[in-house]
Structure 1
């Protein structure tokens, strides 16, 4: 067996928490299986907490404190870990931040905005100001920085393979001025051309479709069941029920089937950027049909 990798307790708060959990468990002479017994959580989940890859839920912290006789230590420190993880992000998104670091594949549906890791600073600021108009400049700057840190998802060769379906309305809605929209869409094209994700555009007039709802993301893993994440404006939910996740996965397959092919979709994004650059409103679906019929022409 390969040597065990111990967490670096000095790295950050979650690492300290995970290292302390492993220390207390081994001090008590318990295996992960023994500690997990009666907790309604699996061994992989506890192992990920020890490696600082996931956050300890309060119910599990209470169970651990009871089994290890740690006088409420792990329950009290849950909040510290949550704050460390959530810096610059909404509380409900913290678990997804942990999960996406270990996903093999990500399949995302973006009906309203370009996904966060692809957003440039002006786009990020516009969205934050629209959703949270009373935030101070310091709070906005923190959120901008946190979102920019997630750009690794489309830059690191070891990041999850990503399939992204964008609503055509994302291209047609001018969130920024024309020059900034052109720059933002050109950035999406550049990242896509480096094969960091596969894009598809769902035409705005497609009618009823399986994901007529908020942002949705399906994450698959090497050593754990798949999960679905669904997000609204001020809330988000991780769904782990196997039957429900399977339904979402099949619906996403139907969504991809209804969307335009990746090469046509990429051409649409590129042409929309050019239209904004020339001071025009993107032509929308007409553009996609032209690209589909004559992929080498403008």
Structure 2
């Protein structure tokens, strides 16, 4: 069961303050994490993650906690502060969960996965998506994307399995030079990073599940798996077990239809040559 460290400073951030307040209110009510979890239909581990400021508070859970602890709207108000993020709101929860995941399995139909993007590629994508945004805003978004990549450098980096549609290798995002460098980096990561496996779904594979949207499966050491799906300007974190299982089956079928890792690296290498003048 996750326990909040005794030396956690509640004034470090709104999220740590929320966690400290939740723990204070729970202990005042004479409840263990598991007992409180039962009252709001979640696990004691889940409560512990909120108290330890590991996971962002959820509005619906905060409402249930206020009701269970008879605290009015106290935790709901703190939740609004604690959920502020540098990431877009629709992705912020998924970004937090990436840091906790033991495995990340992604299907990317049209773009190189965010964790594997180069700075120039990310900048070209961001500029295309935010045509009228000031340069400063674009650079901020690119910096945040590059910060996410540090996850792969951590000693506790998750295992990453990415299936990329061949179409994502052929679209010259940012022009040939930018795309060539992106593909070279992708090939290098797939060949040399011991915790990353790449596969390419070839165009001749035809129709595939969730062909028009990114889908990311995440598993954890002490929590149920989740799925995150994303399309232009929006995304959704899915935690309902039956739907997560359905996405996992679809991902397994896509992975089975993809080229082997070795053949995928050969295709990526040939795509590099296609981007060479």
Contact 2:15–2:57 (CA under 8 A) maintained in structure 1: no
When residues 59 and 251 of structure 1 are mapped into structure 2, their CA distance, relative to the original with a 3 A threshold, is closer
Deviations 1:226-269 (A, max 9, x none): 11111111221122222222222122111111111101111221
Secondary structure, counterpart of 1:205 in structure 2: helix
Answer yes or no: is the 8 Å Cα contact 1:118–1:154 preserved in 2. no
Task: Tell me the alpha carbon deviations over residues 138-175 of structure 1, each in whole angstroms, 9 at most, x when there is no partner.
Answer: 22122111111110232223111011000101111001
> Does residue 1:272 correspond to 2:271, yes or no?
yes
Q: Distance in 1 between matches of 2:91 and 2:179?
A: 26
- Mark the CA change 1:270 to 1:11 in structure 2 (over 3 Å): closer, same or farther: farther
Question: Using a 3 Å threshold, how does the CA distance of structure 1 residues 4 and 55 change in structure 2: closer, same or farther?
Answer: closer
1:28 aligns with 2:37: no
Task: Calculate the aligned-residue CA RMSD, in Å.
Answer: 2.1
- Answer yes or no: is the 8 Å Cα contact 2:101–2:158 preserved in 1: yes
Q: Please tell me whether the aligned partners of residues 202 and 259 of structure 2 are also in contact (alpha carbons under 8 angstroms).
A: yes
Cα-to-partner distance string for 1:61-118 (whole Å, 9 max, x where unaligned): 23333443444322112121111xx21x210111111211111111110001111121
Deviations 1:176-233 (A, max 9, x none): 1211111111111222222231000011232122232300011111212211111111
1:254 aligns with 2:259: no
Say which is worse superposed, 64-73 or 229-238, in terms of deviation. 64-73
Distance in 2 (CA, whole Å) between partners of 1:110 and 1:90 is 19
Partner residue of 1:163? 161
TM-score w.r.t. structure 2 length? 0.91
Provide the residue aligned with 1:13 in structure 2. Answer: 14
Are residues 191 and 11 of structure 1, via their aligned partners in 2, closer, same or farther at CA, if it must alter by over 3 Å? farther
Instruction: Give the whole-Å Cα distance in 2 for the aligned partners of 1:2 and 1:80.
Output: 23
Secondary structure, counterpart of 2:139 in structure 1: helix
User: Residue in 2 aligned with 1:295?
Assistant: none
C-alpha offsets along residues 256-294 of structure 1, whole Å, 9 cap, x if unaligned?
111111011112212322432x31xxxxxxxxxxxxxxx
- In the alignment, structure 1 segments of 5+ residues that lack a partner are 280-298
Maintained 8 Å contact 1:227/1:245: yes
Matches within 5 A, 1:140-179: 140-179=138-177
CA radius of gyration, larger in: 1
Contact 1:55–1:82, Cα closer than 8 Å, also in 2: yes
Partner of 1:131: 129
Moved more, 116-125 or 252-261: 116-125
Tell me what 1:181 maps to: 179
The number of aligned residues is: 275
